Structures are given as C-alpha cells and as structure tokens.
Amino acid sequence: MKILGLETSCDETAAGVVEDGVRLISNVVASQARLHAPYGGVVPELASREHEVNLLPVTEAALEPVGGLRGVDALAVTVGPGLQGSLLVGMTFAKAVAHAAGLPAYAVNHLEGHLAALRLMDGPPEPPFAALLATGGHTALYDVVGWGDYRLLGETRDDAAGEAFDKVARLLGMPYPGGPPLERAAAGGATAFEFPRPMLGRGLSFSFAGLKTAVALKVKELGEEETARRRADLAASFQEAAVGVLAAKALRACEELGRERLAVVGGVAANRRLREIIAAGDVEPYWPPAELCGDNGAMVAAAGFMAAARGEVLDEAADPAPSAAIG
C-alpha cells in the first residue's frame, strides 16, 4: 500500500510517498525558513499563504517516482498539532485531491508522525522503547509500548527545546531557525559559562524558559561587543545545558522504565552533541536520518499507514486540531 503523506502544520510544506509504512519512495520539503527569518520566528499568516503556493508543486514532485496520483493507494495528512491556518491549507488540499481521485484519506497526528519517521530507518527500534521528541513546538518523553500505544512520561512546562535554540540563537545574532547555526557556532567554542539546567533533578518534565532568560541576562551583562566576541562560548555553554538536560532525562526515563532502547526524534534530534551524550549512555540509541528529523511528508505517510490500519479516516467535515496530543 503506497501512501502520499502531506505536511503543512508549521513552516515546512512537505509531501512524501511511503510503501507499507516503512519503505521510503520520495520525500520533498519546501522550507519557508528564509521567508520567516526576518521576523525571528514563524508568522502564521505568511505560513498559510506560502503553503498554498508550494503545496501543489511539492506534491507533484513527491508523486513523480510513482507516476503521479495513480501510483498511490491513499493520502494521509497532518491534522494537528500545529498552526490552525497552516493545517487547514493541507487538510483542504488533501480532501479535494482524495475526493477528485476517489482515494481514501487518513488523519495523522504530527507527533506520531515524528515517531513514525523511526520506521523508515534501516533497522528501526522495536517497541517497547523510550522516545524523546524535541521540536520547535514540543518537547516530550514517551514510553512507546507498541506502535500506536504511547504513554506520556513528561513534557515541557514552558518553551520547547527547539524554541529555546531559536530564541538564544536570535539573542546571539543568528538567523532563524537557530538550531543549526547555533550548533555550528558551539562547535568552535568552549563551555565557559555556567548556565542553569532547569529541573534536572526533578521528574521527567522539562523547562527551558529559565535557561533562555539566563542567557539573555548574560548577554546584557557582557554588552554587545563582548557578546559578539564570546559568541561561540555562549553558544557552546547554552547547548551543553539544553541538550544535557534532554539527554539526562531521556536516559533516566529508560532506567526507570527498564527500557534498553532510546529513540530521539524531531528537529532537535539532528543535534550532534545531543546524540553524542545519548550514545555514551547505557542504551541502544536510535535516530532517523537528518532529513527525516525535521518536518517532512514521508513521516506523515508512515504514520498514515498506522492510521489507516486503525481506520482513522479523514472526515470531509474534519477541522484542524491545533493542540492535538498523543499519549
């Protein structure tokens, strides 16, 4: 069964084709990063409009290897969580295409999509395993008891990890999205500053607002010139604190649950320092290839296969679910 997956929940317009939920056929992503960069974050109105412009060409490109729409058996589309207007563009498009082509369409939760990206790996993790999901909008730990059976162990009380990377990068004069440039800068710096590791000792919940504020205060204290001079050190020190907390809590979750496998998904999973710390832990680590960590259509197609098995049909009257959850 070949599924076309469509993703427009945030600032990536993406489409991908996956066979039987596990075999990647195509994955096309149009990033809006440059459009939103001047604003330092995603502008919802601009995002919806850009999805409208990009969705058709991105979908056509994703369908090319299977010879167009006739080459797929079903559609899958993200219905939440995400930006209301952006979700609406993708869902309306999916409904129209499914209706016109006489194909079934399935509703996908974006967070299950990030987890489903693991199924596209060579040698994916077998449930049960623990999963750390860290994106620009979410930071959570799950116990993946089985595919479709997720238990939420803890999540962020305020900012998401990716959001913290974006905000700190902005403070240091780096472009949006801040994760990649901040990681590059950190590679050339030393962890010279002591930043707080919020809630490190307490439970499996996260908090990143205090860490971001600590960096902001330090930047103010140093002043413009000194901040610019110490940029790499500031980046390295922030990164060490942020991914240190993520890794420590994820590894602790494994210990508490007796899980031997730990998966890391979402945009922040691309961070090499995070991977390094987790790989040094007492678990078998898993992460999707970088192009499947960030938002993409293939992960939606992979999750769509599971949604189809559960009969989660996209109702023609379905509305977006901006704050949908799993677990």
Residues within the interface to ligand KG4 (CB under 6 A): 10, 135-137, 162-163, 165-166, 177-180, 183, 266-268, 270-271, 294-295
7 belongs to the binding site for Zn ion (CB under 5 A): no
Binding mask 274-313 for Zn ion (x = CB under 5 A): ---------------------x------------------
For the chain, the helix, strand and coil percentages under 3-state DSSP, each to the nearest 5: 50, 20, 30
What is the spatial distance between Cα 310 and Cα 208, in angstroms, rounded to a whole number?
35
135 belongs to the binding site for Zn ion (CB under 5 A): yes
Q: Which does 159 bind (CB under 5 to 8 A by kind): ligand KG4, Zn ion, none?
A: none
The residue (of 75 and 134) whose beta carbon lies closer to ligand KG4 is 134
We find the least distance from the C-beta atom of residue 135 to Zn ion, in angstroms, to be 4
8 belongs to the binding site for Zn ion (CB under 5 A): no
We find the least distance from the C-beta atom of residue 110 to Zn ion, in angstroms, to be 6
The residue (of 137 and 189) whose beta carbon lies closer to ligand KG4 is 137
Residue 219 half-sphere exposure toward CB, CA atoms < 13 A: 21
We find the least distance from the C-beta atom of residue 118 to ligand KG4, in angstroms, to be 14
Closest CA to 42 of 172, 140, 135: 135
SS3 157: coil
Q: Which does 320 bind (CB under 5 to 8 A by kind): ligand KG4, Zn ion, none?
A: none
We find the least distance from the C-beta atom of residue 266 to ligand KG4, in angstroms, to be 4
Q: How far is CA 259 from CA 60, 304, 326, in A?
A: 41, 26, 20
Structure token pair of residue 128: 């049960």
26 belongs to the binding site for Zn ion (CB under 5 A): no
Annotate 173-219 with DSSP letters as a single string. TPPSS-HHHHHHHHHTS---S----TTTTSSS-B--HHHHHHHHHHH
Is 297 within 8 Å of 15 (Cβ atoms)? yes
Kindly list the residues in this chain that would bind Zn ion in the complex (CB under 5 A): 135, 295
